[in-house]
Amino acid sequence: MIHKSLLKWFGIFLVATAFNSCKKDKPKEDTNIPPVATGAFNLLFKNTVGDSALVLETSEYKNANGDTFTISTFNYYISNVKLIADDNSVYTESESYHLLSAFNDNTLKIPLKNVPFKKYISISFMIGVDSVKNVTGIQVGDLDPAKGMFWNWNTGYIMAKFEGYSSKSPEVDKTVLYHVGGFSGSNSVLKTVGLDFPTAMTVSETESPKLKVKADVLEWFTSPQNISFSSLYVIHAPGADAKKMADNFADMFSIITN
């Protein structure tokens, strides 16, 4: 009898242990079903140098100052993406933080989801990561510091990063390195871009528009200020140089119409 009851208890124990170790959370039900009919709107970024597609490492380019260069890294954050409809309503992407990298074409595609069926006339987004995400501690996804776009010693995201080589650089290895960041006060490099669509783009049951946006590296080096690789060749902290570069690249985006 003793053995029997022991056996029974161990049986219960065994089953309980097994159940405990296999316990899994029930899948969460999606309670955020959109109240209005929505569809998709696809953003496609294309990195260019002037009119030609950006090619890392192997292609040589020339900036407005006449300095030749090659590109080894070209990364930037896009955040707070908004679409403006013809009735002035605004679609705001949730958790809208995207790291776009010339290393990976997949990062250049941003599918906007749950976009209400409407006719859209313009888009706006921020170049960089808004200040809130710079001051609220460790983040995930594209904002993971392991992505290499974060200053560990001076908290904040590198909003945009250009690295390459130019014979004009005074550095021994001819490096040109621009890590542009700064989110607060007079050091902020955050820029909001607004682009009007040439023709309205409709999201409907049958229409999922594709918007192609060009990002032209050459804009980093001209207007309002021409950049000479012999005088400005390293930026790795917030400050005047980073702001100068951000003022330049604020207009690097344009809509590709063809």
Q: Which residue stretches of 97-210 are H helix? A: 131-135
Rg of the chain (C-alpha set): 25
DSSP sequence for 18-62: HHHHH--PPPPP-----SS-EEEEEEEEEEEETTEEP-TTT--EE
Number of residues that bind other proteins (CB under 8 A): 31
* Residues of span 20-49 touching other proteins by CB under 8 A: 21, 25
User: Any contact of residue 10 with other proteins (CB under 8 A)?
Assistant: yes
Q: Is 253 left (phi over 0), alpha (psi -120 to 50) or beta?
A: beta
> Based on CB atoms, which residue is closest to other proteins, 175 or 202?
175
Residue with tokens 């955050």: 190
* Residues of span 200-239 touching other proteins by CB under 8 A: 237-239
157 contacts 77 by C-beta, under 8 angstroms: yes
CB of 35 vs other proteins, minimal distance in Å: 28
* Residues of span 158-197 touching other proteins by CB under 8 A: 187
User: Any contact of residue 138 with other proteins (CB under 8 A)?
Assistant: yes
User: Any contact of residue 11 with other proteins (CB under 8 A)?
Assistant: yes
User: Any contact of residue 154 with other proteins (CB under 8 A)?
Assistant: yes
User: Interface residues with other proteins (CB under 8 A)?
Assistant: 3-4, 6-7, 10-11, 13-14, 17, 21, 25, 134-140, 144-146, 150, 152-155, 187, 237-240
